[in-house]
Amino acid sequence: MAGLWLEEFEEDMVFNHDLSRTVTEYDNIHFSLMTMNVQPLHIDADFAAKTEWGKPLVNSLFTLGLMIGMTVADTTLGTTVANLGMTDVIFPKPVFHGDTIKTRTTVKKVRPSKTRPGQGIVTFFHEAINQHGDVVASCERAALMRSRPEKQA
């Protein structure tokens, strides 16, 4: 499904996204090293075994990116102009190798742009949920969205 136009979003609209993804050790180590995050809690199994978690934690920025990425097909694919920012990012539970993540999005606000005709801002609340039903990440995200194009004559 392609993304929605600005006019198709309604406040309190909820998307239970169909995509799910099992996070692998490779995902975590590769992402951590690509972003130069050498925190041993993510990339050193021996170090992580001695922590309260007993095993490596998945890099929270990977979790954030995965959560938002999993929402694109249903919401903003081909209809977004720009990601304007994220606020209130939290990680209430850890993600571990082997966890399967699903996402849910709630539309919080929709408004036309005051300065960009034919565009508007949609505020989303995204949640990542593991296979146990625990919310493992959430954030509010503002996206600059295109209005539906006028029909060509």
Cβ pair 97, 116 in contact under 8 A: no
- Of 49, 51, 85, 55, the closest CA to residue 68 belongs to 85
Q: How confident is the model at residue 149 (pLDDT cuts 50, 70, 90)?
A: confident
pLDDT in tens, 33-91: 999 999 999 999 999 999 999 999 999 999 999 999 999 999 999 999 999 999 999 99
| Residue 27 within any structural domain of the chain | yes
Q: How confident is the model at residue 27 (pLDDT cuts 50, 70, 90)?
A: very high
CATH number at residue 46: 3.10.129.10
pLDDT at 2: 82
| Residue 153 within any structural domain of the chain | no
| Residue 25 within any structural domain of the chain | yes
Number of domains in the chain: 1
Name, in order, each residue with C-beta under 8 angstroms of 132's C-beta and a sequence gap of 6 or more.
none
| Residue 151 within any structural domain of the chain | no
Residue 46 DSSP SS3: helix
Q: Can you tell me the mean pLDDT for 125-144?
A: 98
| Residue 152 within any structural domain of the chain | no
- Evaluate if residue 153 carries a pLDDT over 90: no
| Residue 103 within any structural domain of the chain | yes
Could you tell me how far CA 150 lies from the centroid of its own chain?
30
Q: Can you tell me the mean pLDDT for 96-116?
A: 97
| Residue 46 within any structural domain of the chain | yes
What's the pTM value of the predicted model, to 2 decimals? Answer: 0.93
| Residue 90 within any structural domain of the chain | yes
Average pLDDT, the chain: 95
In the chain, the DSSP E strands lie at 14-22, 80-90, 100-112, 119-129, 135-146
pLDDT at 110: 97
pLDDT at 152: 47
Give the structural domain span for 32. Answer: 6-146
